[in-house]
């Protein structure tokens, strides 16, 4: 990305950061309420899948807490092309752990 493009788009990040807390409650106002289950003990196949997903997420969370943070950097090199604009020519991936 060229410096000129970065400067032109630099105003977008603060706009998104500051507008998100304002717009999220507005987007949730028109949601429909879910129907109440007919029987409290009724576990349909869909509900069982949801419970398995939640259990897997909690298991993954427990595994992630045992790990230490790692710094990863991905660099992509570009060159200008008259027909396509900026074209990726090479990339590097660095990590430190």
Enumerate the domain spans of the chain.
72-97
Minimal CA–CA distance to 2: which of 89, 82, 63, 77? 77
Write the pLDDT tens digit of every residue in 26-72: 665 556 566 665 655 556 888 889 999 999 999 988 888 888 777 88
Question: pTM of the full predicted structure?
Answer: 0.30
* Structure confidence at residue 74 (pLDDT): 84
Computed over its alpha carbons, how large is the radius of gyration of the chain? 23
């Amino acid at each position: 990305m060229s410096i000129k493009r970065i400067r032109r788009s630099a105003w977008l990040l603060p706009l998104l950061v500051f507008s998100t807390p304002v717009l999220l409650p507005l987007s949730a106002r028109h949601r429909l309420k879910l129907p109440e289950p007919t029987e409290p003990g009724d576990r349909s196949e869909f509900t069982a899948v949801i419970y398995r997903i939640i259990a897997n997420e909690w298991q993954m969370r427990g595994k992630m807490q045992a790990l230490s943070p790692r710094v990863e950097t991905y660099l992509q090199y570009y060159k200008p092309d008259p027909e396509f604009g900026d074209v990726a020519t090479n990339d590097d991936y660095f990590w430190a752990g």
